[in-house]
Amino acid sequence: MQIVVPEEFEYLYLQDDEHPIIKVPAEVLLQKAQEIKRVTKKHHILAENMLRIMRQARGVGLAAPQVGVSVRIVVMTADDRPVVLFNPKILSATGTNVDEEGCLSIPGLYGDVERSTVVEIEALDRKGRKSTWEMDGMSARVVQHEIDHLDGILFTEKVDQATVYWQHPSKQTTAAE
């Protein structure tokens, strides 16, 4: 889907110290992120910064490419707790659900996306140990959206085109951002 930002939404596409999230059409959003060989202090600092940026933007998930770093790190809020996943991948997915999504890298654009309702994820935890998580509902949707970011896939590639619309984010609450 070609994204043409309407003039009245261009203010959302600022990028500076106050607005650090990378916006389309930045190349880093379209590239497959590099796997982390070993979780280091540098990765922990990046993840903590990502959590801060995600909260500041009032998002529920954020992938490292969205802050301009092409590595496989996802942060998200699950059951009001921060979750950090290094090298996350989906082991299994069941069920389907359609819900509205938006994206902090495409602010103001929303539409319906079909996702699995339950996913089993494998990732390295904060201590660098391989772990598995089972996520359902909102957490499953968010982690799928963020893993897509790690693979250079934007929600606009999966959205039901008939449901796409623009709205100012302050008036909007969506399932995944």
CA 98 to chain CA centroid, Å, is 17
Which residues on neighbouring strands pair with residue 99, listed in sequence order? Answer: 113
Task: Give the separation between CA 101 and CA 135, rounded to whole angstroms.
Answer: 17
The position carrying tokens 């959206």 is 145
CB within 8 Å of 131: residues ≥ 6 apart: 122, 123, 124, 125
Q: Which of 7, 120, 146, 157 is catalytic?
A: 146
CB within 8 Å of 12: residues ≥ 6 apart: 5, 23, 107, 108, 168, 169
* Closest listed residue to residue 150, CA positions, set 56, 82, 66: 66
7 belongs to the catalytic site: no
Active site residue ranges: 146
